[in-house]
Amino acid sequence: MTTATMTNTGVLDLSALSLREANETLQAATEGAFTIVNPGGRHAIACGLEHPVSVTIEGHTGYYCAGMNKNADVTIRGNAGTGLAENIMSGTVRVTGDASQAAGATGHGGLVVIEGNASARCGISMKGVDIVVGGNVGHMSAFMAQAGNLVVLGDAGEDLGDSIYEARLFVRGTVARLGTDCVEKEMRPEHLAFLADILKRAGMDADPRDFRRYGSARTLYHFKIDNAGAY
């Protein structure tokens, strides 16, 4: 990591710059604020950022926008394609519109906010990230989710939390069907407090008491013949 501070505030126009040039600039900057215009649905925009820079993308992005983000604050003013903020470590990634499949997949930390809807497999294999979705999430969301929190203000599709480990799921609307080994759990004061805090950080207006909590029944934690039907 470079010790010299590199501030480079400016506008990056993806109709003029190559993706590599834009990402190189963003990755090298150690602080500052950038705006990306004409993203044109390009893939892997603003991925691999390490430093606390702020990036606003004016328009729609393709796959893996802000992938593996660390420390940076990325806002997409539009919709995002597959794998938004996949494997995010820290920082914040926000989409004002909808996000496609596998948003926040395998994320280890940080916050992902999707103001619209998220498609299938939102939060798949999540490992500590917090994800807040203003609308609905598609089927198989939080599949094999290991840690972190998925907060859904709308409805959840089928097989929510299938084969879930220790992640916590909060849904305000309906759940079409819970996945294998995912069960409803009691809302305790600490969960309400957590929800109040994360909703505030996500800039969402909702009452924590309207949510239900889901998590692992932990019956699949050991291979047992009695579970054969569940696998």
* Contacting positions for other proteins (CB under 8 A): 19-20, 23-24, 27, 43-44, 47-48, 50, 62-64, 67-68, 70, 82-83, 86-87, 89, 101-102, 105-106, 108, 121, 124-125, 127-128, 143-144, 146-147, 163, 165-166, 220-223, 225, 228
- Work out how close the CB of 196 gets to other proteins at its nearest, in angstroms, rounded to a whole number: 25
Backbone angle region of 30, left / alpha / beta, with phi > 0 → left and psi within -120 to 50 → alpha:
alpha
- Least spacing, CB of residue 208 vs other proteins, in Å: 26
Taking the complex as a whole, how short is the minimal distance between the CB of residue 14 and other proteins, in angstroms? 13
78, amino acid identity: G
Nearer to other proteins, 94 or 127 (CB): 127
Tokens representing 99?
């996000």
| CB-nearer residue toward other proteins: 67 or 208 | 67
Say if residues 60 and 41 touch (Cβ distance below 8 Å). Answer: yes
Nearer to other proteins, 30 or 192 (CB): 30
CB of 101 to other proteins, least distance (A): 8
Q: Hey, which bits of the chain come out as E strands?
A: 10-13, 33-37, 54-58, 73-77, 92-95, 111-114, 127-133, 147-152, 168-171, 182-185, 212-216
Report the amino acid identity of residue 113.
V
* Residue 207 CB, nearest approach to other proteins (Å): 31
Q: How far is 64 from 61, CA to CA, in rounded Å?
A: 8
Task: Give whichever of 196 and 220 is closer to other proteins, judged by the CB atom.
Answer: 220
Q: What is the DSSP letter of 228?
A: G
Q: What is the CA radius of gyration of the chain?
A: 18
Kindly state the smallest distance separating residue 200's Cβ from other proteins, in Å.
26
Q: Which is nearer to other proteins, 48 or 135 (CB)?
A: 48
Q: Which is nearer to other proteins, 32 or 67 (CB)?
A: 67
Q: Is 199 helix (H, G, I), strand (E, B) or coil?
A: helix
